[in-house]
Amino acid sequence: MVDTATGFYRTRKYGLDRYFGPVDLGIHLTTEYRSLNFGVGIFAGSIFPGSNRLVVTGFSPCWQGYYVSSMGGAGLVFDNLGINMLSLVGKTPVPSVLFLNRNHGEEIEVEVVPVAVEEIWREGRTGVYSLTDAVYEKFGARYPNDPRILVTGPAAMHTDMGGIMSVPITKGKISYVDTWAGRGGFGSAMVRDHGIVAIIYGGTMVNEDFRDRTVADEWFRNKYDMRLMQKDLEATSKYRYDEKVGTGGTLGVNYATMGGRILAFNYRTIFWTEEARQTLHQEFVVKHYLRQFNEETIVPKQQATCGEPCMAVCKKMNGIYKKDYEPYQTMGPLCGIFDQRAAEKLNHHCDAMGFDAISGGGVLAWLMDLLDAKLLTPEELGVTRLPRWDMAKFDLVADSLHNAELGCELIDAILELRGILDFREGVRKWSRLHSHEKGVALHDRLVYIAFSRRGWMVPNQYWVAGALAPMSIMGKYYMVYSNDFIPPRELGRKCAERMKKELILDNLGICRFHRGWAEELLPEVMGTLYNCTEQFLRAIDVLASRLHSRNCPVFWESERNVDYLHTFLQRKQAVDGDLSPELAAWLEKFAMNKVEAGRDFWYETLKGIDERLREFF
């Protein structure tokens, strides 16, 4: 536990009885100290693929509640520090780098070193990238092995949605494969609550990690009749290459299969006919956006890992650009961008400035919508142009680029507080203020999940009911994003169950792309190795109910949220042919009064969640 105000630290030991991993212990420490915590799971350094996630816990500035975020691979180097968790408390008065090094000694060297960060963010590769370069240049030589660096960008200082970025460094070479703990805005927490803009860490500590492949293979054979490698290959095919759809990675597979479920132009497509959506998907995405991705990334196998040995190689690259579905969706079709060059430009700038890309992209799409609808002017938002969102004469390359350039202008405007923009306390509070002044609810066009008094979150980019569920942590996969119609009470119960499964993964520091075997097998391994399966699973129940006990969900404030659900239900019946009486009954309610029906649906979902997460008592 490092007090960043003084640089002093102390070490605490916790037995494997009450807390079992980075989430249950992290949430406990957050409650006790309001600390920001970085931890690894008990299998870090083991032969289990995906076991080296670095898990961040704390109080989220944008969600305004406890949150859990994680990044791939960064736990591998962290494990060499010989500790399982780092907690930040206190605040250094000037922006500083936290240096941690366990170099052949008993003690970890800890230094809090001031840096002229605003200057660094403006130089070289800019933002998070130039801060990585600067920190490595200053401290890299002090590590005998490659260290890892966590960095933030200007978004962390000037908004509540700044993420934390890190790239693997191999043999002194800084890679382009950026990994993010983006959701929850923990970059903003690190900078604004603790004054830390970057953390560099590494060491030479060798732990006794589980590395017996013969034993692991036997566990896998008993359960799946396959060796570890075989089962993992099968479980991660979507992320590597899915032969059925001829592409790979989240971007490839999701865009290849979504058809009429596409979301574009700040979700305006939910109001389109199925035929129009299908045409958009086919002409703009399949024939161009996805084709470019397949030709440039999948065919030449431009792929990498997050830093740990992993056969999923889920990081799909094009040169310096790493491509995941959700950022290339929110800063792609959602902003009216259907060309990879344009999307690369906007995503890269947003990443460099250190935003959580999903929230950042969702907000940009919303601001563009407000400009297009003439509810706000370019002057008010400190930009020079309007979006080109006219489908009738949309030029795939030129208009995509135009919209991406507008996106970049908006990012700069947000960071420089141009016009009436000021997101330091979040978009929801800002919208409340300006909606009041203008007499029009600006947030009616922002799809977001509201939490507590001013907490907010751009949902995951799937047009399904679960994406807007009233769970205590939203914006990640602590919910069910199935495309089926699930009656809300049942949906709530399923979301609660899903949350517990995801907590198993997070509390073990495991990448969820390996969930196909990890969430089932690893609790059993906890029994075999540490004799604590039951205690571990009970701790997950306690953790889930603990998080739920602080659930402050707020019914959808935005009309577009209600429409998002309503049109999802309509599409289920009209397009997917779900003729269940329960769906028909909900649609009747929506036809009578959509807001009241939405409220009933929302409360029914919450009842289901509550039912499952209180069961523990």
Binding site for ligand SF4 (CB under 6 A): 50, 72-73, 239, 305-306, 308, 310, 312, 314, 511, 513
- Cα separation values, 480 from 450, 468, 510, 541, 557, Å: 18, 10, 19, 18, 22
DSSP, collapsed to helix, strand or coil, labels residue 509 as coil
CB of 476 to ligand SF4, least distance (A): 14
* Pick 22 or 65: Cβ nearer ligand SF4: 22
* 502's tokens: 């995801």
Nearest to 277 by CA among 301, 285, 86: 285
CB of 293 to ligand SF4, least distance (A): 17
* Pick 250 or 472: Cβ nearer ligand SF4: 250
* Pick 180 or 456: Cβ nearer ligand SF4: 180
Any alpha helices (H) in 34-109, and if so which ranges? Answer: 74-78
* Pick 76 or 86: Cβ nearer ligand SF4: 76
* Pick 415 or 525: Cβ nearer ligand SF4: 525
CB of 324 to ligand SF4, least distance (A): 10
* Pick 9 or 513: Cβ nearer ligand SF4: 513
What is the DSSP-derived secondary structure letter of residue 596?
H
* Pick 233 or 286: Cβ nearer ligand SF4: 233
- Cα separation values, 603 from 95, 488, 490, 500, 555, Å: 44, 8, 12, 21, 8
* Pick 343 or 518: Cβ nearer ligand SF4: 518
CB of 65 to ligand SF4, least distance (A): 25
CB of 513 to ligand SF4, least distance (A): 4
CB of 305 to ligand SF4, least distance (A): 4
CB of 232 to ligand SF4, least distance (A): 9
* Pick 421 or 511: Cβ nearer ligand SF4: 511
What is the amino acid identity at position 316? K
* Pick 507 or 545: Cβ nearer ligand SF4: 507
CB of 93 to ligand SF4, least distance (A): 36
Strand order in the sheet with 54-59: 2-3, 85-89, 36-39, 54-59, 66-71
Q: How far apart are CA 419 and CA 415, in angstroms?
A: 11
Torsion of CA 428, 493, 270, 554, to 10 degrees: -20
Q: Phi/psi at 462 (nearest 5 deg)?
A: -130, 130
Q: How far apart are CA 338 and CA 516, in angstroms?
A: 32
Q: How far apart are CA 558 and CA 273, in angstroms?
A: 22
* 443's tokens: 């947030």
CB of 510 to ligand SF4, least distance (A): 9
* CA–CA–CA angle 297, 55, 227 (5° rounding): 65
CB of 54 to ligand SF4, least distance (A): 11
Query: Contact at 8 Å (CB) between 185 and 60?
Result: yes
* Pick 54 or 495: Cβ nearer ligand SF4: 54
* Pick 181 or 352: Cβ nearer ligand SF4: 181
* 376's tokens: 């706000």
CB of 72 to ligand SF4, least distance (A): 3
Q: Phi/psi at 113 (nearest 5 deg)?
A: -115, 120
Helix axes 488-507, 22-33, angle to 10 degrees: 90
Nearest to 22 by CA among 495, 471, 503: 503
CB of 447 to ligand SF4, least distance (A): 26
Query: Contact at 8 Å (CB) between 355 and 155?
Result: yes
Nearest to 35 by CA among 100, 70, 87, 84: 87
Using left for φ > 0, alpha for ψ between -120 and 50, and beta otherwise, residue 109 falls in: beta
